Structure 1
């Protein structure tokens, strides 16, 4: 069966993730992490993908970004992940596939994007790797909290301009400290990302489907969508100010 075409909504935030092949560890040395961020910077600038947030976990990566063209995401990750695979195999003296399948992604309603970035930056906290999000060096949390602005642990094009008109560093710190992880909301983010269904209110999904000329509801045979729609609506109504 052919793959369903990916939903790309130019100008809207997207949550993007990709795992190592067979869930193998990917980011296992600092030199590999730095190399990945260099490549992400290089190709996202070239292909006009605005990076809003990210987190490098041990065996997968999360990115929140805005594509400025229909091909921004595809070209960025084709080149960045392809080059990184070569670098990884050379450093580790290995061969074969590094990444599991193609990357997963979903468009995110503007009102929900703060929750999604918080979900991404709190991954190391949920995994028990650190106590606070800013303690983890390899995510956008430190930059968003004003600790660093550039360097080997940050993509050069982390979009400060987009960020600063929405949240100050103290506001974001309060958000990360006080935001409780609701499993139904986390599940809504995961489900949307792995199915490709846009994340947001029913009105947002319907409007985007009309603009793209596609049916963007839950696919036949998928999970019952009532609970997921309820969680997605809550995400869209929950706007960090």
Structure 2
């Protein structure tokens, strides 16, 4: 039996994205969005996941998820598989909904989770779908700002706890923090070896604990999928030439040119 990937372990935290096949929409209406949230809740309950942030876009979604038991791949198969079944059944379709394998980056929680939460919930603003993150109903952001019912699988305590113990003050501070992030470069540009977001010690530890052949397999499987589309760079760098240069350099660094 193959040794389990060290990238899956108890307490691991990931930024996960999954895109529609041929970049087509995976949510056609609000009922689809509610169905995905329902499936996500089932997955979190079954696999003991903790979600720190999420955001549904049109043709993809973002998750910041902590796996208490080290079972990301099993949970992702369930999430994308069950949602595909519901989507196809509801819309009378067949076949793949998602584009190949999901993307998962192992992140150093204390150093990057807060910044990534801001990046995730600002996606609709960068895409010019809304003017402010408060307007987008399909992310975890509103649950951080209000005393309202939130799903049992969504943990807002850790994020708000970074701004103090008084809840109301922490909410306002987090709101300011998120708004101040608009226009800043993506924190994912600092991803190392296509798989890790953390300091030198964090990266070295987890590279050492991953078997070389497993690391090569992961790198080949993720290399193309982890490259950000040009639109991501255009959202960060208004000048088109600069955006293209940044995208080219990133792909060159990842061995795609």
**Shorter-chain TM-score: which interval?**
0.7 to 0.9
Which ranges in structure 1 are unaligned for 5 or more consecutive residues? 226-241
Point out which structure has higher relative CO (alpha carbons under 8 A, 6+ apart).
1
Contact 2:188 2:197 in 1 (8 A): no
Moved more, 39-48 or 53-62: 39-48
Contact 2:49 2:153 in 1 (8 A): no
Which structure 2 residues correspond to residues 57-206 of structure 1 after superposition, within 5 A?
A: 57-71=57-71, 73-109=72-108, 110-146=110-146, 148-150=148-150, 155-167=151-163, 168-183=170-185, 185-188=187-190, 196-206=194-204
Aligned position for 1:233: none
Change (3 A) 1:119 1:207: same
CA shift digits 1:144-183 (9 cap, x unpaired): 1226432xxxx43101343343242111101111124333
Change (3 A) 1:45 1:138: same
Query: What is the DSSP-based 3-state SS (H/G/I as helix, E as strand, rest coil) of the residue aligned with 1:157?
Result: coil
Contact 1:18 1:103 in 2 (8 A): yes
Q: Normalising to structure 2: TM-score of the pair? A: 0.74
Contact 1:18 1:61 in 2 (8 A): yes
Distance 1:116 1:63 in 2: 10
Change (3 A) 1:95 1:219: closer
Task: Give the drift of 1:213.
Answer: 4.1
Distance 2:70 2:201 in 1: 23
CA shift digits 1:205-240 (9 cap, x unpaired): 112333x24467996997438xxxxxxxxxxxxxxx
Structure with max Cα Rg = 2
CA shift digits 1:47-67 (9 cap, x unpaired): 011100000000001000111
User: Considering only aligned residues, what root-mean-square deviation do their CA atoms show, in Å?
Assistant: 2.6
Q: Normalising to structure 1: TM-score of the pair? A: 0.78
Distance 2:138 2:121 in 1: 9
Task: Give the drift of 1:100.
Answer: 0.7
Contact 1:40 1:76 in 2 (8 A): no
Which ranges in structure 2 are unaligned for 5 or more consecutive residues? 164-169, 224-250
Distance 2:176 2:186 in 1: 22
Task: Give the drift of 1:184.
Answer: 5.8
Matched pairs, number: 211
**Residue 253 (structure 2) pairs with residue 224 (structure 1):** yes
Aligned position for 1:238: none
Aligned position for 1:208: 206
